Amino acid sequence: MENTGEKEVICYHKLHREYPRRLLHYVDMPPRLFVRGVLPREDRATVAIVGARMCSYYGQVQAFEYAKALSQAGVQIISGMARGIDGHAHRGALAGGTPTFAVLGCGVDICYPRSNYDLYKKIPEQGGLLSELPLGYEPLPRNFPLRNRIISGLADLVLVIEAKEKSGSLITADFALEQGKTVYALPGRVSDELSYGCNRLIEQGAGIACSVESLLEELGISPGKSDKLLIKSQIRLESQKNMVYSCLDLQPQNLNQLLEKIPLSPEEVMGILLELQLEELIVEPMKNYYAKIK
Amino acid sequence: MFSSVLSAAIMGVECFPVRVEADVSDGLPMFNMVGYLTSQVREAQDRVKTAMRNMGIALPPKRVTINLSPGDLRKDGPAFDLPIAAAILTALGYLEEVMVKDVLIVGELSLDGSVHPVSGILAMVDKAKEMGCRACVLPKENWREGQIIQGIPVAGVSTLRETIEMLRSGDFERFQLENPVGEVFYREPEYSLDFDEIQGQEAVKRAAVVAAAGFHNFLMIGPPGAGKTMVARRLPTIMPQPSLEECIEISRIYSIAGLLPADSPLMAARPFRAPHHTLSPQALAGGGRIPRPGEITLAHRGILFLDELTEFSRVSLEILRQPLEDRQISIARAMGSFCFPANCMVVAAMNPCGCGYFPDMNRCTCRPGDISKYLRKISGPLLDRMDICVEAGAVEYQDIAVKRKKGPSSAELRKEITRVHKTQEERFRGTEIRFNSQIPGSELETYCPVEKQGRELLEKAYKKMNFSIRGYHRILKTARTIADLEGEEILLKSHISEAICYRKADKKYWKI
């Protein structure tokens, strides 16, 4: 172990006894690993959640919910702290309580992207930020696909949430298959470009991520008490409210689209949407776009 | 012989009287002009000399001196040709001193002695009336415009000879129209566009009606081809006709800018200005050595439509900030400081991202950073001044394919909005305020009483949605207009909730 000057950052050499044993099986693993925080525990099940940076609201919600449920079951979540799915997976994992780990494509003293500064601060409190690159190393595009091999190497199972046809997440899935890891993909609508990569993986034989239980089973963990993803609406609402609520979906819809479906005046619909929002049943992820919370 | 004739000059939107003095005395024959003149005015001497000769009046070989007083005011433009000619003719004895006394004369001369139109007539005639002049003599083409100001005889002339005859006869009232303003010029404008041509976009249409009713600034965000520009172009058709005083105020500005249409000298509708996004800051604010009104002033009491808001240069957009608050713009130049009115309603349209299709992930090709970069082009303070903000989503096929009942037409909507404007006129009688959007924060309590349930909703939303104080005020003002549309005196819960839906598009709404 060499101390690199900064107090919190530790550099583990490949020969060090704490260097992740999971990585030792593969040939192209980094000789040194810089860590801010701690390394993932060897005895715990680990799942990597990856996906598109430009993701849909549906993808955001699913990344968060899967990560949260898995984390609550004691699974360590690994991802790349990028924008989009990665970031939401980390947020879900932090909400779940089990330490989460991010493998960065730059030095661990650099926060990239800046918009995930909250994660950059929170992840090392219990989990850790990992990188094979020395401190001060700029985030260069060519390093991001490379760090994916560490993400898949550290995980027991790789879950792809959303990916377009040519996506970095598919590189992770390829690494995972080479390394002999299980790959799961979240199915999506065939008409959505963001589902293309996942549906393609399923076609090629990847597992279908229909529920957290199936993932936990795969990992050999008995599914305990966890949030269900499929929830039957048990919320009782006034009839007009109910009508508006039932027209909503996890995919955000524009106000105009809703007005086409609902035989009420724009003023009334807007009023109801606001009430539902204040009751925390729906969200407005973008201006005048509305979606169910879950 | 010395003589003096009254004329006028325009500075900004103000009119100043100018005395044109002529002195013809013995000495070496020459023609001198003094009085802080631009070269445009200096060129008048050749036009005047030639026009007089071509009319058959030879200038005697004497020393002619022309002075335009006050001497510290920069005089610009060709409007002094005719008064200079009149002053020389008086000094030479062709006209008597009493004939030109208290008559305001303006006009451009051509070499054959005919008189051409000039800009700024409305302000000049107004000034003449204020100064108690006997009459105004102006170019024939400007004559109809001059008629708008009541209570002062206005004579139109087409040649220098006619001018002399007119001044000699002193019969300025010969061609006066009977009540010209009310009957001839102040008529309801006609439009070739109509609001019922817009298919779908119910939410945007509703927001447009609210914006027009309360004169609220209005921002539309949506993909290309969704109908944002279409809605904006139809806004003037639902705007009630301005009052006569407002019409004169608008016409005055257009007269000075030289933009009054030849056939109707009174701007009987609210102006609609849609400058292209290559617009320079000076063209927006008003510019030039002697500043001329910019787009924001030309949109006074009307609509300033900024299509493709993000494509405007940042400098140009930031100019809007102060005038949107103060409703006037002051421009300082070496010549002095000029204050232009700028009480307009800003209507803007923009795409949600560079490619235009966000949040439709199947079509949006932007990279993650691009979207926030795109939106950073619009500063927060400017977004903050937009009272009403709506998303104009892509219209789906069934909206245009299915035959359906047409929405209300422009005429119906205009009737409704006229009623709301009347309500506001009565409410704010005796104050500076004209529309709900202009209510100052300190008076919101007086003008916007909220019922109990509405207050609870406001409190709940305020805590949950992190409004700023300004945002809170904006919601109340918009709710006031919505309540006026419904004919309610007190703001109900439904008015508040609709207003909250129109709150500004915060940057966080695009966060991925």
How much is the average pLDDT of A221-241? 64
The answer to pTM > 0.90 is: no
In this predicted structure, what is the pLDDT of residue B54? 92
Q: Which of residues 206-265 of B touch A (CB under 8 A)?
A: 206, 221
Chain A residues near residue B392 by CB distance under 8 angstroms: 256
CB neighbours (10 Å) of residue B471?
16
Backbone φ and ψ for B292, nearest 5 degrees, come out as: -105, 155
- Under the banding of pLDDT at 50, 70 and 90, the label for residue A231 is low
Would you list the DSSP string of B427-466?
Answer: HTTTSS--SGGG--GGGHHHH--B-HHHHHHHHHHHHHHT
- The whole-angstrom separation of Cα B255 and Cα A276 is 53
B366 CB within 8 Å of a chain A CB: yes
Among A41, A22, A47, CA closest to A184: A47
Instruction: Give the β-pairing of A282-286 and B30-34.
Output: unpaired
> Residue B364: its chain A contacts at CB < 8 A?
54
pLDDT (tens digit per residue) in B424-457? 999 999 888 889 999 988 888 889 999 999 999 8
Q: What pLDDT is stored for residue A2 in this prediction?
A: 45
Contact call for B395 and A256, based on CB within 8 A: yes
Rounded distance, CA B450 to CA B453, Å? 8
Would an 8 Å CB–CB cutoff place B369 in contact with chain A?
A: yes
When pLDDT is averaged across residues A249-255 and rounded to a whole number, the result is 83
ipTM: 0.70
Q: A-contacting residues of B 483-512, CB under 8 Å?
A: 493-494, 497-498, 500-501, 505-506, 509-512
Q: Which residues contact A118 (CB under 8 A, 6 or more apart)?
A: none
Nearest to A51 by CA among A130, A142, A202, A159: A159
Q: How far apart are CA A250 and CA A246, in angstroms?
A: 11
Residues of chain B with pLDDT > 90: what percent?
A: 53
Mean per-residue pLDDT over chain A, rounded:
87
Residue pair B82/B115 in contact (Cβ under 8 Å)? The answer is yes
Does B94 reach chain A within 8 Å, measured CB to CB? Answer: no
CB < 8 Å to B206, chain A = 266-267
- Dmax (CA) of chain B: 90
Provide Rg for chain B, Cα atoms.
28
Q: What residue ranges define each of the domains in chain B, with the CATH number in brackets?
A: 2-181 (3.30.230.10)
Q: What is the pLDDT of residue B405?
A: 66
pLDDT of res. A5: 43
CA-nearest residue to B486 within chain A is: A267
* Cα–Cα distance measured from residue B68 to residue B73, given in angstroms and rounded to the nearest whole number: 9
Contact B393 A257 (CB under 8 A): yes
Contact B309/B294 with Cβ under 8 angstroms?
A: no
CB A166 within 8 A of CB A89: no
A270 touching B, CB under 8 A? yes
Report whether A108 contacts A65 (CB < 8 A). Answer: no
Which residue in A has a C-alpha nearest to residue B402's C-alpha? A260
Tokens standing for residue B152: 């002062």
Total beta-carbon pairs less than 8 A apart between chain A and chain B: 107
Chain B residue with minimum CA distance to A116 = B512
Q: Quick one: tokens of B45?
A: 């001497």
- Give percent of chain A with pLDDT exceeding 90: 47
What is the pLDDT averaged over residues A123-141?
A: 92
Q: How far apart are CA A3 and CA A8, in angstroms?
A: 9
B408 in Cβ contact with B195 (< 8 Å): yes
Does B268 contact chain A (CB < 8 Å)?
no
Q: Which B residues in the span 391-410 are in contact with A, Cβ-Cβ below 8 Å?
A: 391-396, 398-399
Contacts of B482 in chain A (CB under 8 A): 267
Residues of chain B contacting residue A288, judged by C-beta atoms under 8 Å apart:
203, 390-391, 393, 501
Count of residues in chain A: 294
Distance CA(B88)–CA(A132), nearest Å, equals: 93
Cα separation, A258 vs A290, whole angstroms: 9
Single-letter amino acid code for the residue at B323 = P
Verify whether the Cβ–Cβ distance A256 to B512 is below 8 Å: no
For residue A241, what are its two tokens?
């409210």
Q: Which amino acid is at B395?
A: V
- A263 → chain B, closest CA residue: B202
CB proximity B201 to A under 8 Å? yes
Predicted pLDDT at B358: 81
Name chain B contacts of A84, Cβ cutoff 8 Å. 368, 512
Please give the C-alpha separations between residue A224 and each of A43, A94, B236, B489, in angstroms, as whole numbers: 19, 19, 64, 57
Contacts of B499 in chain A (CB under 8 A): none
A279 at B interface, C-beta within 8 A: no
The residues, any chain, with a CB within 8 Å of residue B334's CB and separated by 6 or more, are B289
Helix (H, G, I), strand (E, B) or coil at A73: coil
Q: Tell me how close the Cα of A269 comes to any Cα of chain B, in angstroms.
A: 9
In terms of Cα–Cα distance, which of A121, A120, A72, A71 is closest to A100? A71
Residue B411 token pair: 């005429």
Instruction: Test A274 with B493 for CB contact under 8 angstroms.
Output: no
* A275 in B contact zone (CB under 8 Å): yes
Positions of chain B with pLDDT lower than 50, given as ranges: 512
Is B386's Cβ below 8 Å from some Cβ in A?
no
- Is residue B411 within 8 Å of residue B190, measured between CB atoms? no
**Angle at alpha carbon of residue B167, lines to B166 and B170, rounded to 5°:** 80
Among A104-118, A202-216, B170-184, B232-246, the minimum mean pLDDT is found in B170-184
**Residue A246 in contact with partner chain B when CB distance is under 8 A:** no
Q: Flag whether residue B318 sits within 8 Å of chain A, measured between CB atoms.
A: no
Q: Is the confidence at residue A4, as pLDDT, over 80?
A: no
Beta strands in A9-167 (DSSP E): 9-13, 32-37, 46-50, 76-79, 100-103, 128-131, 157-160
- A174 CB within 8 Å of a chain B CB: no
Closest C-alpha to A10, from A136, A164, A128: A128
> What is the length of chain B?
512
Among all residues of chain A, which has the CA nearest to that of B510?
A286
Going by DSSP bridges, is the β-strand pair A157-160/A182-185 parallel, antiparallel, or unpaired?
A: parallel
Averaged over A76-97, what is the pLDDT?
Answer: 94
Query: B442: Cβ–Cβ under 8 A, 6 or more apart, which residues?
Result: none
Domains with residue ranges and CATH for chain A? 8-219 (3.40.50.450), 239-292 (1.10.10.10)
Confidence (pLDDT) at A232: 55
Element (H, E) at A290: strand A289-292
Does residue A193 belong to the interface with chain B, where contact is any CB pair within 8 Å? Answer: yes
B-facing residues of A in 110-139 (CB < 8 A) are 113, 115
What is the Cα–Cα distance from B371 to B385, expressed in whole angstroms?
A: 22
B328 part of contact set with chain A, CB < 8 Å: no
| C-alpha–C-alpha distance, residues B80 and B109, integer Å | 9
Contact B497 A271 (CB under 8 A): yes
**C-alpha B69, offset from chain centre:** 30
- Residue B497: list chain A partners with CB under 8 A: 270-271, 274-275
CB contact under 8 A, B512 and A84: yes
Say whether B293 sits in a helix, a strand or coil: strand
DSSP string, B230-285: HHHHHHHHHSPPPPHHHHHHHHHHHHHTT---SS-SS--S--EE---TT--HHHHH
Q: For residue A286, how many other CB atoms are within 10 A of its CB?
A: 22
Per-residue pLDDT, averaged over A198-226, amounts to: 86
Residue of A nearest to B501 (CA): A270
| CB–CB contact A54 B460 (8 Å) | no
* Sole residue written with tokens 């976009």: B201
Enter the tokens of residue A164.
């377009």
User: What residue in A sits closest to B390 (Cα-Cα)?
Assistant: A288
